[in-house]
Structure 1
């Protein structure tokens, strides 16, 4: 799954241990911008008929079986002492990035692992695909958590499993959300890798050397959900599907943009402009989703980014309103106008005419 960018955390620098004895980091407080853990209707997943696209799903499963990255995530001598070279502010935003990325990958592992376990008797092909993806996500999460230990911190993934709140999504919503997560993850990873390949002086930590192969896991996972949606045609045809695809595209793009701009210091450390980086990722992901979603967003509309910038400003004001020692009811009253304003901007974005995928880029259809 896609690693989200860093989210501000007041406890990011507390209780530091050592690389050999890392301290357990308290998880960040859940907000609308932090990674979520998901559950779904396992019975409905087990009963799914894959026959409309069984051949493609079998071919993708065969790709998973090859496990191309089996020997890729092996740390080398470049990691030794790399953490000590970062200045305090860069260390802070980078640790936040590692934490949120690890949480996101681990969320994917838990969902895929539980799906593979619960449906293996009734839907073995689907269960095997989820088991392979769980393997990949666990590998990613472990690698990220090990990198956190270079900074004297680690996440207690067992604690997260038992104590994190789980959000229920119907299977088709899982398809939309995880497909977008995996595909946007591919474009995020590959964009950073290509930038650092051209600008090696901006490579602040050796983990970025792994992003080229890593992003191919994300891409293959996205291809799986593409094939799965095609095996369930109702998920990508008709008015209802068009509306839900618009909703999930907008929710993912808006959340990413607000989050990344809020923590632009991380991207500056890599020599990137957060806004330009996000615009590239959004454009590429939007183009990719035209392969399966019935509609995509008009991200070239002159007001698209104007409205996203309003969300950024409102988010800054919400953060400011949440600071201090004011009573909780007073904080809610202070934040209410910005919640309403955000809702209005999201509604305007949602009701902006989308582009039918068959007209957007016929070649990819």
Structure 2
């Protein structure tokens, strides 16, 4: 963690939203362990994906065209605030990936050349995404000082095993978020209020490719899918990512409504599709068909919205804390019950026709 004295923001520079348990984080990891990973079980697949990354199919994709050259003052009020918040969160998330991949590439160079180059090229993609999103914020006379954030934001340490689980899920859930929005707006172009959504089809292919790389990394490490511990960790990370997604979507429901999407249905579709996709990599997937699965996730979201409401009140901090406790306890209880729902053994299903 780096502590610095607060500085006055420059004109047009947006102060990042306060860090919470739901905001995108910056990560660091055990680079020594990463460098010593045995990739032999998936080396052929990783080399094939490296060739795809070198081809750089999207190198001409992230170029702003004339459709951006107009005033966006007509997007105002709550719609403007919700969209800027969406751009900010997405930009920080992509920039977080860039920083982690860039540092992995630097630390692994000379130790694990295959992984070092893969991470270098993934960092390239994430930097493009973050820059494109930050330029979009510029259309609303705001931008993030990303260089300053690298020095002031808290870095969270994750063991490399956790990084593999979480980045895989992050990339795959990102794919489903982008492609579902893109397909919806193809059918309802009247809701496409800003040109960035036209870029989501190729954009999500970057997410999918990155996810496939991390799938190969995961399957190259037997301890991440063959052991009983791997089953418990898989359930934990699946539930963590899905809970974060559900809470975040409902906190920003106005943005999804502005696209003509029902936030609850969008969230459920993303969770369902990501869970099905994760079953190809993880030893288990969650039982989203269980009658209590989505209702309990929704209850967590409802309690979280109460927490947001309490935070926004003008009550003393002590009163807020006391009011929050039963809601936090209720979220934890519902998550525990969700975790205890028997998962689906995907290893047992491999090779069967479904």
| TM-score normalized by the length of structure 1 | 0.92
Query: What is the Cα deviation at residue 33 of structure 1?
Result: 1.0
Contact 1:82 1:205 in 2 (8 A): no
| C-alpha separation in 1, matches of 2:17 and 2:322 | 24
Mapping 1:170-189, distance limit 5 Å: 170-189=159-178
The 2-side partners of 1:260 and 1:339 are apart by 18
1:80 deviation in Å? Answer: 1.4
- Aligned match of 1:354: 343
CA distance in 2, matches of 1:106, 1:202: 27
Deviations 1:258-310 (A, max 9, x none): 11012111011001001111111111111111111000000111111111121
1:164 is matched with which residue?
153
The superposition leaves residues 237-261 of structure 1 with CA deviations (integer Å, 9 ceiling, x where unpaired) of: 1110000000000010111011101
Which residue matches 2:45?
A: 56
Q: How does 1:1-365 map to 2 (within 5 A)?
A: 23-81=12-70, 83-359=72-348, 362=351
Alpha-carbon deviation of 1:47? 1.0
- Where does structure 2 lack aligned partners over 5 or more consecutive residues? 1-8
Change (3 A) 1:279 1:324: closer
Task: Measure the CA separation in 1 of the matches of 2:314 and 2:258.
Answer: 32
Greater RCO structure (CA 8 Å; 6+ sep): 1
RMSD: 1.6
Q: Deviations over 1:302-322 (max 9, x none)?
A: 111111121112112212222
1:290 and 1:360 in contact (8 A); partners too: no
The TM-score, its normalising length taken from structure 2, stands at 0.95
Distance 2:30 2:14 in 1: 32
Residue segments in structure 1 that go unaligned for 5+ positions in a row: 1-14
